[in-house]
Structure 1
Amino acid sequence: MKVVSEHEHHHEHHGHAAGGASWRTAASATLHCLTGCAIGEVLGMVIGTALGWGTVPTIVLAVALAFVFGYALTMRGVLRAGVGFRQALKIALAADTVSIAVMEIVDNGVMVVVPGAMDAGLASWLFWAALAFALAVAFVLTVPVNKWLIGRGAGHAVVHAYHR
């Protein structure tokens, strides 16, 4: 009978072998990233639109908040594992920067090219439909990036040692 350590169990549970990452693991990491990005995106779009800002400052705020919330969600789990704040921040930066950047480029690119989406206003179905569509496209295009990163021991793989 083989005794499986918690770490090995975690890897078996997420379905990736030593040689690379599974699509399931990549999708899980991307969903985690999407959560932080979506919170930041929505908050940034709401604040920028409510203040009557133009497209560029609104996108800058949304992107900045997406990074803040993306890193914060990762740090929360790492801090819970007993890691100090500075080290948790370094881990979050290493784990999420590329994933968040790809997601934000795709997400905001889609928002800008959907006719009228950025000018639609918060009460418009067009704004919310375009944002949901943009986040969905960003998710689909970021999963392969995360699969590649995790398969090389980078990206979200950096966080795995701290998951409980």
Structure 2
Amino acid sequence: MSLLTRIEQFFAPARDVLKPILSDPTVLAAWAAVVLVSTGVLWWDLRKNNEAIPSLMKAVWTLVVLYSGPFGLAVYWYSGRSQIAHDSMWRRGFRSTAHCYSGCGAGEVVGFTLLAGLLALESTLVVTAGTFGFAYLFGYGLTIGPLMQEGVEFGEATMDALYSETPSITVMEITAIGTDLLLAGDAGIAEPLFWGALVFSLSMGFLAAFPVNTALVAFGVKEGMKNPAKMDGSSS
């Protein structure tokens, strides 16, 4: 028995519970409404109370909430607002994970939607490899771009991204892509399960990557995102 088969059998009970829920159009519609409300609350708070937060981080938090709804909003409220009482390693870990998550999540959405959805590719290997590629591309890009804006050369920025982001991206995408394939490996783009599993898998990836990012921050591999209470909006 192969390792993948054993893993699939181990998670089969959870899959049997989740698939009917994630396949329900009513559940998806309710989730979409919750995400819209959560995004509205985020934008209201950013505009009214946290205008000084740089535009890049505003975009990061917007993507996090779009991916994970109220969970993403709770992460922002705990770690991303300038009103937090004091910064901590846990808050830095959450901000670092959110930054990674925003780019990798976009790559995963593009990868699955394009490869498994619009192109309807039947090869699991091709879909998996392609989605990993998009996730790494978007994840690295979100680190390389801002570094180059600060004057860092492309080669140095690329090496910094490879060194600091690869562990968290790898763990996040193994978890997220594996979860999606386990739940909706045969689902088409027109099926509710395709989207329900994609949304669920994104949040699973965040949870898996959080301890990795926190450890990377703790050991100095990553600096972590700046304390929002000290942001003046002058840099991105």
**Same fold (TM > 0.5):** yes
Give 2:148's aligned residue: 79
| Structure 2: distance between partners of 1:61 and 1:30 | 22
| Structure 1: distance between partners of 2:85 and 2:98 | 17
For 1:108, the aligned partner's letter is: I
**Following superposition, which runs of at least 4 residues in structure 1 exceed 4 angstroms of deviation?**
none
1:56 CA drift (Å):
1.8
Q: What TM-score, normalized by structure 1, do the two folds share? A: 0.80
Could you list the runs of 5+ residues in structure 1 that have no partner in the other structure? 1-11, 17-21
Give 2:182's aligned residue: 113
Candidates 168, 172, 190, aligned match of 1:99: 168
Q: Within 5 A, what are the aligned runs for 1:10-29?
A: 15-16=87-88, 22-29=89-96
| Structure 2: distance between partners of 1:150 and 1:122 | 38
Which is further off, 118-127 or 67-76?
118-127
Conserved 8 A contact 2:180-2:198: yes
| Structure 1: distance between partners of 2:194 and 2:139 | 22
Conserved 8 A contact 2:95-2:225: no
The 3-state SS of whatever aligns with 1:59 is helix
Could you list the runs of 5+ residues in structure 2 that have no partner in the other structure? 1-83, 227-234
Q: What TM-score, normalized by structure 2, do the two folds share? A: 0.56
Give 1:131's aligned residue: 198
| Structure 1: distance between partners of 2:110 and 2:154 | 25
Aligned length: 143
Q: Percent identity among equivalent residues?
A: 36
| Structure 1: distance between partners of 2:158 and 2:85 | 26
Q: In the superposition, relative to structure 1, how do residues 147 and 136 fare at CA in structure 2: closer, same or farther (>3 Å)?
A: same
1:62 equivalenced with 2:131 (yes/no): yes
For 2:210, the aligned partner's letter is: V
| Structure 1: distance between partners of 2:86 and 2:107 | 27
For 1:98, the aligned partner's letter is: P
The CA deviation string for residues 104-147 of structure 1, in whole angstroms up to 9 with x for no partner, is: 11011111221xx1221122221111111111011012111111
Conserved 8 A contact 1:94-1:158: no
| Structure 2: distance between partners of 1:91 and 1:63 | 19
Q: In the superposition, relative to structure 1, how do residues 159 and 83 fare at CA in structure 2: closer, same or farther (>3 Å)?
A: farther
The CA deviation string for residues 2-48 of structure 1, in whole angstroms up to 9 with x for no partner, is: xxxxxxxxxx99824xxxxx111111111111111111111111221
Give 2:99's aligned residue: 32
1:52 equivalenced with 2:127 (yes/no): no
Pairwise CA RMSD of aligned residues?
2.1
